[in-house]
Amino acid sequence: MPLLVMKFGGTSVATLDRIRRVAKRVGREVANGYDVIVIVSAMAGKTNELVGWVEETSPLFDAREYDAVVSSGENVTAGLMALTLQEMDIPARSWQGWQVPLKTNSAHASARIEEIPTANLNAKFAEGMKVAVVAGFQGISPEGRITTLGRGGSDTTAVAFAAAFGAERCDIYTDVDGVYTTDPRISTKARKLEKIAFEEMLELASLGAKVLQTRSVELAMRYNVRLRVLSSFEEYDPNAGTLVCSEEEIMESNVVSGVAYSRDEAKVTLISVADRPGIAAAIFGALSEAGVNVDMIIQNISEEGRTDMTFSCPTNQVSRAKAAVEAAREKTLINFHGLVADTEVCKVSVVGIGMRSHTGVAAQMFGALSAEGINIKVITTSEIKISVLIDRKYLELAVQALHDAFGLENAG
């Protein structure tokens, strides 16, 4: 039998009525001849509630017990989904991560998947089971303890199962009906894409698009798992959603496929740093040890033997970044004359695999921003991406201007 993986997020299974609606979608795929692995998240809001209970009970909690508590939300959903399918006369049973077993490392609350043996589920499929409802987000450590994969881990669970079982496709059901050229809440001209390449989706996910978790896209690209992103609230349509696939499946790519943004960015500048070998390693080593997620980096010569070092990071990590570099200065690892942080900036990016074969994308992007009077503070590029830091007050204007400049209202 061909096999399909279907993943349903928290909003899709938020109530018993929604679980019944989802079960009908699963039943339709069974009727189409598929064996189905369903990956479920906890019901909407449940994980936050469980995390709150843990933090209220034990502010300095044991991560192993944290995982035991917060993983329970998915167990409830999996059991209710299996019961609903059974009421529809569809042979189904629920599986917790340790029963599969989904094997992970021992990094509680942020575990990495190491192996998914297929024997247990395949044996049940051979006996007549049509649907395996698996609790997402969780696995089992080498020590036999429950682990969780970090927030959004159910997407990663679904892709990992699709890779392990050689699924025909992995359908990710969420509260949006696909991947758009930009955030429809900002631009009314945003259009849903029929297909998007793994590389583009990975860039968009890492740059602020919330449709798919970055780790899940990385995994899909590594194992060439075809993903389809679609809404569980739309009526059934076999061609619905956006297919995330290899570049070879896309006949002709747009130069730019999407405009992404990250609102809560900060620009931090170390003024007049000693310009000598090892200084960058000392600065960014200290930031890394402090857990600061550094993104864009630029270095300017300010005076002979001195340089200004600028980097961006999330706004909520500025205090941590300041503390890290000040501590490094006290240890005489680095020497600088001052630190300036601008917490009123945002990052706007254009992404597209078509950039590889087209010139002038940067000039077109910068021209569009200039025409709107938007000043660029920092620029970074990759083979298929150009990102800029600008004042946050211009975010919506910049996204709309770039969407228009690259004609994305005609994408699809």
pLDDT per position as a tens digit, 336-371: 889 999 999 999 999 999 898 888 999 999 999 999
Cα–Cα distances (Å) from 211 to 73, 106, 176, in that order, read 21, 28, 8
Q: Under a CB-based contact definition with an 8 Å cutoff, are residues 186 and 246 in contact?
A: no
Q: Please tell us whether the domain made up of 259-406 is placed in CATH 3.40.640.10.
A: no
Q: Evaluate if residue 253 carries a pLDDT over 80.
A: no
The pLDDT of 57-70, averaged and rounded, is 95
User: Residue 39: what pLDDT?
Assistant: 98
Domains 3-250 and 259-406 are alike in CATH topology:
no
Buried b (16+ CB within 10 A) or exposed e, 123-143: ebbeeebbbbbbbbbbbbbee
Q: Is the pLDDT of residue 61 over 70?
A: yes
Q: What is the pLDDT of residue 412?
A: 59
User: Which whole number is the average pLDDT over 206-223?
Assistant: 85
- On the question of pLDDT at 238 being above 90, the answer is no
Of residues 126 and 250, which shows the higher confidence score?
Answer: 126
Residue 386's pLDDT is: 95
CATH number of this structure's domain 3-250: 3.40.1160.10
Per-residue pLDDT band for 208 (boundaries 50, 70, 90) equals low
Q: Is the pLDDT of residue 187 over 80?
A: yes
Distance of alpha carbon 378 from alpha carbon 302, whole angstroms: 16
* Distance between CA atoms of residues 81 and 77, nearest Å: 6
Pick the range with the lowest mean pLDDT from 168-182, 297-311, 328-342. 297-311
Considering the entire predicted model, what is its pTM? 0.84
Average pLDDT, the chain: 92
Check if the beta carbon of residue 203 is closer than 8 Å to that of residue 347.
no
DSSP designation for 150: -
The predicted structure's pLDDT at residue 80 = 98
Secondary structure letter of residue 71 according to DSSP = T
Residue extents of the structural domains in the chain: 3-250, 259-406
If you average pLDDT over residues 360-386, what whole number do you get? 94
pLDDT at 236: 76
